[in-house]
Amino acid sequence: MDSLAGRTAFITGGARGIGLAIAHSLAARGVSVAVADLDDPALERAEDALSAVTRARAYKLDVRDRQRYADVADAVEAELGPVSIVVNNAGILDSVSPARMDHSLWDYVMGVNANGVYNGVQAFVPRMIERGQGGHIVNTASAAGLFVDAGSLLYRSGFLYHASKFAVVGLSESLRVELARHGIGVSVLCPGPVATDGVDNARGLRPADAPERSATIDTILDAAQAMVRDQGVQPSVVGELVVDAIVRDRPYILTAADNAAPIRARMEALLDAVPAG
């Protein structure tokens, strides 16, 4: 995209943390922004702050709710104009030990992290294709969608979380190929630690009927929240990286330099498994 000014963006998980930072970075470039989230007070604060910079609207949305998603998409385009930038950012960090695996938690984690991304694609991409004016999709996965590091509590985040984030990476890579002929770019955001309260927020949103966490999963979540608090990059940094990726049509957006070693190790293991000749 040569110019972002005058476009409209839709961002889930947009009332706080990474999503709100992306919204601010886009707003600063003249993009009208619609943010969606579940937190009413945070949505109100986000709309007030963004409206001081650009045209902005906030919508309450559970990204698992397909009918509500379609209704919100209609409302956004009626109020702010055709959406050509979609940031599927809503997600939760949760998992369960294999000894306690349960369909309800699988459905919940995959419903938010994987289906929620697909629902955003379904809501907006056909409209973008029909208009023929291009656009860009950003899907938030995680560095945990690129590798599993048995030596790191943060990157050994539980099989449910890893499965959901690997799914987002695969969806994004394949969509990028298929949407290129329509002038629609796709980037996948794979952040390492970012200084947000997302882990604690996810704990508060956990379904009441979900199985009790094991001590291991609780330890992982405690370590994750401590790491993002003490070592995480600022959300504003991620917001600028995302805008750069949209402008330059970059396929991957990573935020942590120390991800290079485990990514390289995974690639080397894959290459070593390729049969000779």
Active site (catalytic) residues: 161
What is d(CA 248, CA 146) in angstroms, rounded to the nearest whole number? 22
The strand pairing partners of 137, in sequence order, are 86, 186
Amino acid occupying residue 232: G
Residues 6+ apart with CB under 8 A from 23: 9, 11, 14, 33, 35, 46, 50, 56, 239
In this structure, what token pair is assigned to residue 186?
A: 């796709």
Find, among 83, 20, 79, the residue nearest to 53 by Cα: 20
Tokens for 263? 């990514």
Distance between CA atoms of 60 and 49, rounded to whole angstroms? 17
Q: Which residues pair with 56 in a beta bridge?
A: 33
What is residue 123's three-state secondary structure? helix
* C-alpha torsion 146→149→153→158, nearest 10: 60
DSSP string, 84-107: EEEEE---------GGG--HHHHH
Instruction: Identify each DSSP E strand in the chain by its residue range.
Output: 8-12, 32-37, 56-60, 83-88, 135-140, 184-190, 252-254
Q: Give phi and psi for 225, each to the nearest 5.
A: -65, -40
